[in-house]
């Protein structure tokens, strides 16, 4: 481990001086290529060969009063497990578990250090300008844990003379209230993006259980938070920045349906999360980034404390060669180091863990051919973690102004290190448990066609993810312990159709998605033999979604439909029924004053959201009731100043 830490330290020292050294690559065949200043940092998404699932920006803007859980559950074909309305929500990408999905905020992992997963209901959508979902193993790009895929969350900031302010207020069924403020202001020297929100709900919806109509008890919640992103440009090629995230969630834990009227079963939980990041960026012959940060999560469950502190350091060096728009190379190398100290009532005392990684990401484009090669090595205290390589080959058979036809092949090896709970829960030392390993193969075919008033994109993906040492918690006598399953195989098909039509100032889009997934235990221990050859519990084989959205002049609309197939529970003879959910949002944008006469543009947006319009009775988790038909009305006030782009 000491050698690993020394290697990480050497990388940071090298990164801090490498931008001033002559570029050794210039002596090779690329020496005739003109080097251009990056002017903008390369996100790791640039090097991902995986497909991307992204709900339309229009839908994202309409759902600013919700969480990432609601957005993904309603706006995409992805399957989200919800333990109740507004309760713990996790995602399953391509048949893997919640801890197999890496969630990165501005290239920083925010998965729980104890559980390894992320509660999507605690990620307010108003904090983000972009939400990208990358199904498929990309551990080399996104780091430890991305066996099933990754979700990246980010903001858009550029040095422009700009000012915008949005005030948002909504009220709906079950006494649900949401208030927010979002302000963006800046010039060529400084940029600031601020978001504030407050949300609460009594969550007292009605449901039927054993032919009896009941009102949901002990399910109320409230939460609030602030996000600040502040960047200073010191010189034209140097900048520093600070990012602050603070949220607090307090909620009663929605009981199972059979315990709804039993006050002895009522429980509560609170979560406080604080994240502070300090950034420094320098542009020269290379683009160098350095970051230091502190991530703290405190959870209190029925007076029991579950807390972690994560002190992190990141450094990366980027370079881009451009000979033309059809011939270029991007390269990014870097590393990260984390010092993690947990304070958990069920752990041994005085635990301290170090982990980190070194990575090299590269992308080569030559006319119709694209090649992406990535490599990452993770280091964790007292654990041996294998390399995570990936390679992606993409070829465009047709590429012109109107049509584009391409095929892609992706191969990757991915790793998921056992979580702190896996190794230390119950005040026992379970460090002999092995890291999970995934071998992912994927093939994609994409076709696109566009004209001045019409756009069409058709995409299909075929994948196979072979996971060894899958970690599953199983009863061992009177206690539950994590155990490695020898082999789990996930395979499937995804098909997506997107099309858009424009006429005048109007536009209409239709997105159709279908996914088939089969995840089964191929080899396991005796207790799991009953599941061998069968679909893993709580994972649907089939999901489908449709999204119709657009505008007619100042009227905007979105109609979202989603179908989830049947799922088995831990009892293979018990089954959760399939369901179809229909949601709709309609809003009208009022413009105040004449655009050409005012420097500031004022608008008022009034709308209504209708959820579960067909009154579907459904559950994503066994015996966790979900609301029937419900509505939300909202009002947004926007002020925008005309921007002047700074060159």
| Predicted confidence (pLDDT) per residue in 252-310, tens digit | 999 999 999 999 999 999 999 999 999 999 988 899 999 999 999 999 998 899 999 99
427 vs 552, which has greater pLDDT?
552
How confident is the model at residue 350, as a pLDDT?
Answer: 81
How confident is the model at residue 41, as a pLDDT?
Answer: 61
Closest C-alpha to 373, from 432, 321, 331, 433? 331
Contact partners, residue 485, CB within 8 Å, separation at least 6: 469, 470, 471, 472, 521, 523, 524, 525, 528
> Which residues in 377-397 are b (16+ Cβ under 10 Å) and which e?
bbbbeebebeebbbebebebe
**Could you tell me what percent of the chain has a pLDDT over 90?**
66
Joined tokens for residue 377: 């090595």
Closest C-alpha to 15, from 378, 363, 321, 319? 319
Residue-by-residue DSSP string for 115-159: TSS--GGGSBGGG-SEEEEEES--HHHH-TTTTSEEEEEE----S
Check pLDDT > 50 for residue 591: yes
How confident is the model at residue 481, as a pLDDT?
Answer: 83
Contact partners, residue 217, CB within 8 Å, separation at least 6: 204, 255, 260, 261, 266
Burial of 407 (0-12, 13-18, 19+ CB in 10 A): middle
Residue 78 — very low, low, confident or very high, per pLDDT cuts 50/70/90?
confident
Burial of 533 (0-12, 13-18, 19+ CB in 10 A): exposed
How confident is the model at residue 109, as a pLDDT?
Answer: 94
What is the average per-residue pLDDT within 82-98?
A: 92
Check pLDDT > 70 for residue 200: yes
Highest mean pLDDT among 42-56, 75-89, 219-233, 416-430: 219-233
Longest dimension (CA), the chain: 78
How confident is the model at residue 52, as a pLDDT?
Answer: 67
How many other β-carbons are positioned within 10 Å of the β-carbon of residue 476? 11
Q: Do the beta carbons of residue 520 and residue 537 sit within 8 Å?
A: no
Spacing of C-alpha 169 from chain mean position: 25
Check pLDDT > 50 for residue 340: yes
How confident is the model at residue 285, as a pLDDT?
Answer: 86
How confident is the model at residue 535, as a pLDDT?
Answer: 84
The 3-class SS string of 575-595 reads EECCEEEEEEEEEEEEEECCH
Check pLDDT > 70 for residue 312: yes
Q: Do the beta carbons of residue 260 and residue 217 sit within 8 Å?
A: yes
Q: Which helix (H) or strand (E) holds 3?
A: helix 2-18
How many other β-carbons are positioned within 10 Å of the β-carbon of residue 466? 15
- Residue 83 DSSP symbol: S
Joined tokens for residue 44: 């790791």
Residue 521 — very low, low, confident or very high, per pLDDT cuts 50/70/90?
confident
Check pLDDT > 80 for residue 325: no
Strands 287-301 and 454-476: unpaired
What is the average per-residue pLDDT within 172-183?
A: 96
**C-alpha to C-alpha distance for 548 and 560, rounded to whole angstroms:** 7
Residue 528 — very low, low, confident or very high, per pLDDT cuts 50/70/90?
low
Residue 198 — very low, low, confident or very high, per pLDDT cuts 50/70/90?
very high
Q: Do the beta carbons of residue 158 and residue 188 sit within 8 Å?
A: no
Residue with tokens 């309760």: 87
How confident is the model at residue 73, as a pLDDT?
Answer: 87
How confident is the model at residue 31, as a pLDDT?
Answer: 31
Q: How many CA atoms lie within 13 A of 18 on its CB side?
A: 22
What is the average per-residue pLDDT within 209-234?
A: 95
375 vs 53, which has greater pLDDT?
375
How confident is the model at residue 74, as a pLDDT?
Answer: 81
Contact partners, residue 191, CB within 8 Å, separation at least 6: 157, 158, 159, 160, 184, 185, 229, 230, 231
How confident is the model at residue 642, as a pLDDT?
Answer: 61
Q: Do the beta carbons of residue 561 and residue 581 sit within 8 Å?
A: yes
Q: Do the beta carbons of residue 226 and residue 246 sit within 8 Å?
A: yes
Residue-by-residue DSSP string for 180-217: EEEEEEE-SSEEEEEEEEEEEE----EEEETTEEEE--
Check pLDDT > 60 for residue 114: yes
**C-alpha to C-alpha distance for 179 and 167, rounded to whole angstroms:** 8
- Residue 358 DSSP symbol: E
How confident is the model at residue 611, as a pLDDT?
Answer: 95
523 vs 192, which has greater pLDDT?
192
How confident is the model at residue 430, as a pLDDT?
Answer: 81
Among 20-34, 74-88, 111-125, 443-457, the least confident range: 20-34
**C-alpha to C-alpha distance for 550 and 489, rounded to whole angstroms:** 40
What is the average per-residue pLDDT within 143-148?
A: 90
Residue 600 — very low, low, confident or very high, per pLDDT cuts 50/70/90?
confident
What is the average per-residue pLDDT within 186-195?
A: 93
Check pLDDT > 50 for residue 594: yes
Q: Which helix (H) or strand (E) holds 342?
A: strand 327-344
How confident is the model at residue 54, as a pLDDT?
Answer: 62
Which residue spans within 345-477 are E strands per DSSP?
A: 353-366, 369-380, 387-399, 403-416, 436-450, 454-476
Contact partners, residue 77, CB within 8 Å, separation at least 6: 53, 513, 514, 515, 543, 544, 545, 562
How confident is the model at residue 18, as a pLDDT?
Answer: 34
Joined tokens for residue 413: 């090896």
How confident is the model at residue 643, as a pLDDT?
Answer: 56
How confident is the model at residue 46, as a pLDDT?
Answer: 72
> Which residues in 149-179 are b (16+ Cβ under 10 Å) and which e?
bbbbbbbebebeebbbbbebebebbbebbbb
Check pLDDT > 60 for residue 10: no
Q: Do the beta carbons of residue 354 and residue 340 sit within 8 Å?
A: yes
161 vs 595, which has greater pLDDT?
161
Q: Do the beta carbons of residue 104 and residue 291 sit within 8 Å?
A: no
Per residue in 471-517, pLDDT tens? 988 777 677 888 888 889 999 999 999 999 999 889 999 999 999 99
Q: Do the beta carbons of residue 388 and residue 414 sit within 8 Å?
A: yes
What is the average per-residue pLDDT within 58-67?
A: 82
Among 34-48, 318-332, 336-350, 587-601, the least confident range: 34-48
How high does pLDDT run on average in the chain?
A: 86
Residues comprising the chain, all counted: 647
Contact partners, residue 110, CB within 8 Å, separation at least 6: 103, 104, 118, 275, 295
525 vs 237, which has greater pLDDT?
237
Residue with tokens 């994109």: 457
Q: Which domains does the chain have, with CATH numbers?
A: 46-645 (2.40.170.20)
Indicate left, alpha or beta for 309 from its phi (over 0: left) and psi (-120 to 50: alpha).
Answer: beta
Cα dist from 131 to 61, 92, 142, 151, whole Å: 12, 16, 15, 7
How confident is the model at residue 37, as a pLDDT?
Answer: 32
* Rounded to 5°, angle at Cα 477 from 471 and 480: 35
97 vs 47, which has greater pLDDT?
97
């Amino acid at each position: 481990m000491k050698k690993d830490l020394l290697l990480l330290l050497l990388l940071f020292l090298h990164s801090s001086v490498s931008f001033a050294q002559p570029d050794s690559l210039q002596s090779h065949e690329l020496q005739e290529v003109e080097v251009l200043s990056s002017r903008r940092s390369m996100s790791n998404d640039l090097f991902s060969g995986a497909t991307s699932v992204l709900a339309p920006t229009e839908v994202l803007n309409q759902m600013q009063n919700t969480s990432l859980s609601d957005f993904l559950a309603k706006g995409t074909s992805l399957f989200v497990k919800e333990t109740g309305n507004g309760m713990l929500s996790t995602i399953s990408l391509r048949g893997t578990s919640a801890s197999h999905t890496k969630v990165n905020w501005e290239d920083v992992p925010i998965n729980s250090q104890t559980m390894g997963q992320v509660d999507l209901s605690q990620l307010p959508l108003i904090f983000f300008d972009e939400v990208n979902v990358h199904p498929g193993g990309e551990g080399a790009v996104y780091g430890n844990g991305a066996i099933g895929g990754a979700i990246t969350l980010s903001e858009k900031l550029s040095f422009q003379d700009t000012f915008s302010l949005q005030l948002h207020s909504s009220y709906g069924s079950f006494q649900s209230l949401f208030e927010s403020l979002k302000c963006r202001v800046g010039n060529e020297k400084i940029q600031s993006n601020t978001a504030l929100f407050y949300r609460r709900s009594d969550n007292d919806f009605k449901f039927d259980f054993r032919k009896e109509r009941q009102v949901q008890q002990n399910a109320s919640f409230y939460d609030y938070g602030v996000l600040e992103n502040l960047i200073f440009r010191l010189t034209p090629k140097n900048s520093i920045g600070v990012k602050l995230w603070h949220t607090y969630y307090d909620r009663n834990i929605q009981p199972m349906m059979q315990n709804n009227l039993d006050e002895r079963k009522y429980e509560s939980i609170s979560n406080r999360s604080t994240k502070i990041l300090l950034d420094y960026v320098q542009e020269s012959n290379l683009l160098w980034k350095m970051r230091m940060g502190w991530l703290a999560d405190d959870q209190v469950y029925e007076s029991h404390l579950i807390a972690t502190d994560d002190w992190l350091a990141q450094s990366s060096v980027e370079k881009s060669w451009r000979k033309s728009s059809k011939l270029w190379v991007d390269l990014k190398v870097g590393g990260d180091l984390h010092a993690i100290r947990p304070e958990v009532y069920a752990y041994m005392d005085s635990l301290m863990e170090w982990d980190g990684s070194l990575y090299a990401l590269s992308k080569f484009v030559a006319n119709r051919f694209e090649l992406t090669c990535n490599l990452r090595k993770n280091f964790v205290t007292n654990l041996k973690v294998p390399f995570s390589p990936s390679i992606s080959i993409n070829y465009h058979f047709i590429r012109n102004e109107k049509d584009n036809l391409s095929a892609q092949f992706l191969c990757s090896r991915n790793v998921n290190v056992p979580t702190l709970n896996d190794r230390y829960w119950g005040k026992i030392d379970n460090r002999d448990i092995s890291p999970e390993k995934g071998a992912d193969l994927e093939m994609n075919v994409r076709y696109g066609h566009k004209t001045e008033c019409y756009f069409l994109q058709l995409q299909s993906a075929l994948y196979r993810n072979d996971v060894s040492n899958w970690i599953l918690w199983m009863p061992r006598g009177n206690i539950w312990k994590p155990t490695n399953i020898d082999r789990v195989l996930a395979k499937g098909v995804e098909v997506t159709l997107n099309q858009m039509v424009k006429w005048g100032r109007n536009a209409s889009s239709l997105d159709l998605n279908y996914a088939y997934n089969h995840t089964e235990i191929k080899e396991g221990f005796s207790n799991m033999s009953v599941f061998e050859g069968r679909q893993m519990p709580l994972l649907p084989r089939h999901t489908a979604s449709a999204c119709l959205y657009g505008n007619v002049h100042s009227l905007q609309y979105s109609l979202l439909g989603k179908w989830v197939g049947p799922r088995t529970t831990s009892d293979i003879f018990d089954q959760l029924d399939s369901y179809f959910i229909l949601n709709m949002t309609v809003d009208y944008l009022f413009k105040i004053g004449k655009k050409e006469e005012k420097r500031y543009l004022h608008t008022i947006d009034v709308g209504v959201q209708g959820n579960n319009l067909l009154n579907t009775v459904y559950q994503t988790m066994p015996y966790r009731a979900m609301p029937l038909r419900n509505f939300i009305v909202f009002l947004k006030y926007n002020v925008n100043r005309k921007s002047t782009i700074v060159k």
